[in-house]
Each structure stands twice: as C-alpha cells, then as structure tokens.
Structure 1
C-alpha cells in the first residue's frame, strides 16, 4: 500500500505543478488519475456489461418506482440542489465583476431661504470599471466556479446514497418477509408435532420431556416474530424517509422472489468507476477553489487599477430638465495598499496553507477511494463464499432431518434426536437466508463504491 501511495502522490503532484501558475486543471487531474487506476487493475475481474441502472437487474417494478420517487422527493437531495442553484447564482454575480459597475439617477430639488426660492434638476450616469490587469477578478471567478462544481458533485453523491439506500432497504424488507414466512412455517410444523405429542403423552407412548422440549422450541420460534416485524417496519420507515413520506404512507407488496433473481456485479470500466467518483471530484474542486483563492490573495498585493466616469445634465431654476448644462468626468485611478502589506501578506499565507490543506485532503480522498474499492471486492468474495457454505449447510441439515424423521418413524432413534435434527435445520435455514441477504447487500455496496460512471450518467 505504501508503494501505491507514493505512486498516487507522484501522479497528483504532477497535476498540481502543471496548474499552480494560476488555475488548477481539473480535467488533467482526472485524466491522470484514470490512467493510474487503470494500471492498478482494480476490479478487472468484474469487467463486463454496463452498470448503468444496475438495480433494474432485480426485475422489480416496485423497486424501480421506489428509486424514482426517492430521487424526485428526497429532502436532502432537494436541499443540495437548491444550494447548487445558489452557488451558480453567486458564480454569475462574480462574473459580472468583469463589467463596469454603476447606475443612473434623476433628481429634482426645490428649496427656499427667506424670500429666495430656488429650483434645480439633474440627470446623471456613473460607472466604475475595475480593470483585471493582474488577474484578481479571474482568480475569484475561478474560485466561485470551483465552488459551484463542488456543490454539483455533492448532489451526485446524494443521488448515489439515495439509490443505494433504497435498494438496500427494499432487499432488507423482502428478506425479512422471507424470514417471517419461514418462521411461520416452522411454527405451524411445531404446533402439529405438539398436537401429536400431547396425544402420545396421554396414551403413554411419549414422555413429558419430549413435549416440553418441543414447546420450548416453539416458543423460541415465536419469539423471533416480533423482531422480524419490527425490522420490516424499520425498513419501511427508511424507505419512507428517503421518499419524503411517513411510514404509514408507504406500502410494499410481498416480493420475496427478488432474493432468488439473478443479480451480478459487472462494470464496463472499473478505472472510470473509481476515478470519476463524486467524493474524489468534490475534493478536487475544493482544492481548486482554495488554490484560486490563494491566487486572488496574492494578486491583492498588487495595485488596483480602475476607471471611473460620470456624465449628466444639470438644469438650474426649473425641475423639468430644460435649459440644461452638460457635465462629465473621467477619472483613472490607481490604488496600492502599501500600508496594509503586513495584513495582506498574512492573508495570502493563510490562504496558501488552506490550499495545501485542501490538496492534502484530496490525496486522502483518493487513497481512501482506492482502499474502499479493494475492501468492497474482498467483502463481495467473502459474502459469496459464505452464501455457498450456508446453502450447503442447509442442504446437509435438511437431509439429516429427513433421515432422522424416517429413522424415528421406524423406531431406530428417540424423539429427542429428531428434535435436535429439526433444530439444526431451523438454524441452517435462518443462516442461509441471512447469507443470501448479506450477499445481495454486498453487491449493492460494490455498486455504491464503484459509482463513478453510473452516477455521472444518472444526473446528466
């Protein structure tokens, strides 16, 4: 990992040096990062079909509607989108600083001093033009633009979070419905066994120990139902919150078959899926913004050159702008805050440190994305293996139970051994369902981590 860190740092520094003169070249940084990630071959084993709209693999119109509604109505997403509009408006205001600023005015006055009455009217236009000879205004525009782009990446990150959370909530809900169904079947089977045992106890064929052990197993299964029902409500509450609703406003139909549908992880370009992640892009734009502000702080050490102008007409002895006299004025101006140099130098140094801090944060985000990607792949493999073992365990436990049932009916084993075999198959069955759910969620996590391409297309 240390060698990877050194190589990533070298790639990022090259991009920094290329853009440090006035503006960070974000596209150059992204291109270099894409080339580097492609060389690492992360997730090369997942190359295949395009991952766009990956959740539609589950073939559930109910899930598709949930995703669409959440994207349209999620309050966090709407808040972030409004902040983006605000950032774009500020960018427009900053770009307006390239143009002359000023206004027009019309006034009429009438005054009296003793018996002397005077009237006067005037109309004028004035403007002040800050000449961007040294690039200060440009640096501030670049900073504002980077801030808006950073906010846009925040919107994209929220889209990822909303989509992934909806899919996870839906899978979890359907998984809990499946677990409830299995528990209810086991409860029904145990009740039937208890009915038979009671009759056998009364006839003296079975003993109270067998009956009490079966009753204890029944109560264990019944005790699981409140937890399962609460988990279902929790899933509904999560989905409702994501869609801007209350839990009572959302209803899901039983679609347990979604757990058995084909759902694989496939990426068209794993390198782009990492390098185009919004957290990396956001960190890059935040670095670009800090760098541009640092440039602007350096430009503040140079003189400000502006051009002021005034033009108007003045009318004496009337309020109707008649018999006017023209007047105008042009005033070039140079201001240099020489006495404020210590304060300006301190501000420049402070902003440069902030720029370095933003760059360090950018490096951290890149390294974290690489590590997170590798961890998600390891989790995917682990859950897949555990799911296979859990299914095999259930198959063996179920076969053992069927054998024990046959042997008990032939009188070869006591009832307690049959009960132990039933307990084994119950535990194995619950474990198999949990493994299936965990495997599905691991696949969703992988798509959530490798989000660069599908999220970019999703919001564009």
Structure 2
C-alpha cells in the first residue's frame, strides 16, 4: 500500500511539473478591427429586457412577459446553454484522474489444454479500485477545455440574444397589429366621409343640380376604399397569428382590445457620445467566442505532434478458491504508458492546418460581424429619424387635406364649388390619412429596430 501511494504521488508531482506548458497560440481578444475599437468585453445592456416599458403600454408589457415565459425557441436556446456547459464541465474534469471500483468473480474448467487440467475447476475473485490518468504534458486537455468553455459562453450569449430578438419580434408584431387596426379604422372613417359626400351628391342629383356621372365618380372612390378593407383584415389576422406563434398560443386567443393606438415614447432616444455599443451586440460577442474556440483547437490539434503519457493503476485484493481477503491477497500495480502518432504525423499536420484555416475563417467572420453591426446601428438611427420627418410632414399634409375637404364640401353643397374639386380633395384626404397610419406603424417598427440593433443598450433622454 505504501509503495503504491509513493509511486502515485511521485507520478502526480512529475505530471504537475510537466503540464505547465500548452502548445498552440494563446488567445487574445482582438483590440481593434481596422480602425474600430473592440476593447470592451460583451455586456448585456441593463435595459435590454425592460426598454419597452418606456412605451407605458400595458398590452405590450403583458405580451413580452408572456413570450419570455412561453416561447419555445427561447426555451431551446436555454437548453442549449445547459448542454454546452455540461460539455465544458465534462471536458474540464479530464484534468483529474479517473477511477472505478470493481468487483468480479470468475469460475472456469479446463482453463488450459494440458491433460493435467482436465476436470479442474478454477475459481477467483478480485475487488479494488482502478485508476487512470492522462497527463496533460503539452496542454491538449487545457486547449480542449478552453474550446469547450468558449463554446459554452457563446451558447450563453446566443441565449441572451434570443431574448433580445424575441422581445423585438413581439414588439414589431404588436406594432403591425395596432397598425392594421389603425388602417382599418381609418378606412372605416373614410367610408363614412365618402358616404356623407355621396349623400350630398345624391341630394343635388334629385334636385337636378348634379349629374349621374358625379354620383358614379363618388361611388368609384367609395368602392375603392371598401375593396381595401379585406387587406387590412388580413394584415390584422397575420399579426395575430405571428404574435400567437411567438407566445406559443393558438390563433385567436389573444385579447388585445380594440383601441388602435400605436405606442409612442414620451422622450426621444439618445446615443451617448463615445459609448462602445458593440459590447452590447450579442452577434459580435458570439463571433468573438467562436474565434476563441477555433484558436484553442489549433493547440488541441498541435498536441498530437507529441507523445501522450498516461498512468494506469490498481489497488485491491486478488483471491483464489478460498475467496479470502487479507494481507496475503492484497495487490497493486502502477503502469505508465506512452503513445505517439509517429507513423501518422502527416495526418496530424493536416489537422493542424485545418484548425488554423478554421481560425482564420472565424477571424474573418468576426471582423465582418463588427462592420455589419456598425452599419446596422447607423442605418437604424438614420431610418428612424427620416421616418419621423416623413411622419411629421404627412401629419401636416393630412391636416391641410382635411381642411380642404371641408371647404370643398361646403362650397359644393352651396352650389359655388366644382364637383371635381370635392372629388380631388376627398381622394387626397383618403391617401394622406392612410399614409399617415402607415408611417406611424413604420416609425414604431423602426424605433424597435434601434433597440434591437443596439442590443438594448440605447437609453432615453
């Protein structure tokens, strides 16, 4: 027993002194991509899962809370995190010796071809602990652990990104739902206005002051609006189906109310000068973790250029027919072993080149992701600002169109105005009001796009 412990302790000390090195490149987070700084590590924005509350919309708050609890894609991403960290823990345990407790009994007759053994029954019993340990002399286990940890961290980042994407999808679909409601309401209001104009034309026709052509022209415009109503209802059903799918519900179960009002911010969004918003981008951080894993895999492949040393041992009892356990039946063994792929170094070098190429691919992907993120963030800001400008201009246009219709209708009703003037004013009012409803929806969706592209890191003023 003492000899076994002495040999085992000596083997552990030798291994610890030799396993301090690891072949392959040590990974460092890229500090810059071209002239873009990337010195900050990934950090989930504090407001990433609460920014929508700035809209103060109870229905939207309820939908997002529901989606975070019930969405199946998000549950899948969370399970993927658990699996990745389980793989990491399993790989990390390879540093430690592995052992098993064994007990076996064996009985045999005619164990050899010798005539003297004919009819001889041999019985034996063994019990004890077996030990095996792969010594990480060149850092193969270390690099494998680094790669597994980076993959687990990437899975965790992707889970956070899945939450940001889910929240954005729910908010966008909610905006589309309210937008479809608003356009439907606008169409119904326009129908009422057209019916009022038609009543005026009909009254003048009966009084001999209008023609059948004027009545037909107003009917054409009325039927055009009526024909657009089914499209708005389809858009409403589509948004409801999308929201239901995101919340893992069947269509038609959502009770969002009939108030067609799009959420609006009470304060504008603000971009902080000098803030490195890249650290909030999960896709960038995910690509960086992939690069870390691919870099570690270079060392994992390089370690096969060198011998692998392992130690096997046994401590227990071996007993013969008497099945007795004691000092006389005590047994131990220590068996160092060395293996080396010396006859297959060409394949090892090929795997190293493959790992290096994979690392270069991951680096290029990471750099491209940074450029994509920078441009997406800038585009989202510009698109929202332009959409707001367009919305404000259309609001003024709608107000002017509404005033023009009132004047044209009064003049036509009094017999001092032309019917074509009324018809053109009605047509322009319909177009501007529907366009305003579309732009209100567009501005909301693009605002959601800002939060998504900035990883939830942008704040209110």
TM-score (norm 2): 0.86
Larger deviation: 237-246 or 188-197? 188-197
Q: Give the deviation of 1:157 after TM superposition.
A: 1.7
Whether 1:404 and 2:401 are equivalent positions in the alignment is no
Whether 1:231 and 2:235 are equivalent positions in the alignment is yes
Check conservation: 2:157, 2:282, Cα contact below 8 A: yes
- In structure 1, C-alpha distance between the alignment counterparts of 2:366 and 2:265, rounded to whole Å: 39
Q: Give the deviation of 1:95 after TM superposition.
A: 0.6
Q: For the pair shown, which has the larger CA radius of gyration, 1 or 2? A: 2
Deviations 1:267-319 (A, max 9, x none): 45773432331100000000110110011111111111222212221111134
Correspondence for 2:56: 59
Listed as ranges, the matches of 1:318-357 within 5 Å are 318-319=322-323, 321=325, 325-357=329-361
Whether 1:243 and 2:247 are equivalent positions in the alignment is yes
- In structure 2, C-alpha distance between the alignment counterparts of 1:52 and 1:92, rounded to whole Å: 29
Q: Give the deviation of 1:406 after TM superposition.
A: 2.7
Q: Give the deviation of 1:50 after TM superposition.
A: 6.5
Q: How many residues align?
A: 424
Listed as ranges, the matches of 1:154-169 within 5 Å are 154-169=158-173
- In structure 1, C-alpha distance between the alignment counterparts of 2:237 and 2:293, rounded to whole Å: 44
Correspondence for 1:413: 417
Q: Secondary structure at the match of 2:314?
A: strand
Larger deviation: 398-407 or 203-212? 398-407
Q: Secondary structure at the match of 1:309?
A: strand
- In structure 2, C-alpha distance between the alignment counterparts of 1:443 and 1:422, rounded to whole Å: 32
- In structure 2, C-alpha distance between the alignment counterparts of 1:452 and 1:426, rounded to whole Å: 37
Check conservation: 1:60, 1:258, Cα contact below 8 A: no
- In structure 1, C-alpha distance between the alignment counterparts of 2:278 and 2:201, rounded to whole Å: 61
Matching residue within 183, 189, 193 for 1:185: 189
Correspondence for 2:132: 128
- In structure 1, C-alpha distance between the alignment counterparts of 2:152 and 2:70, rounded to whole Å: 22
- In structure 2, C-alpha distance between the alignment counterparts of 1:317 and 1:323, rounded to whole Å: 16
Whether 1:282 and 2:279 are equivalent positions in the alignment is no
Whether 1:24 and 2:27 are equivalent positions in the alignment is yes
- In structure 1, C-alpha distance between the alignment counterparts of 2:38 and 2:394, rounded to whole Å: 35
Which runs of 5 or more residues in structure 2 are unaligned?
A: 1-22, 40-45, 111-117
Deviations 1:441-460 (A, max 9, x none): 111111110116479xxxxx
Correspondence for 2:319: 315
Correspondence for 2:97: 100
Q: Give the deviation of 1:243 after TM superposition.
A: 0.8
- In structure 2, C-alpha distance between the alignment counterparts of 1:270 and 1:403, rounded to whole Å: 53
- Cα pair distance change 1:87/1:258, threshold 3 Å: same
TM-score (norm 1): 0.86
- In structure 1, C-alpha distance between the alignment counterparts of 2:221 and 2:265, rounded to whole Å: 32
Correspondence for 1:45: none
Check conservation: 2:49, 2:164, Cα contact below 8 A: no
Check conservation: 2:47, 2:456, Cα contact below 8 A: no
Q: Secondary structure at the match of 2:270?
A: coil
Higher helix share: 1
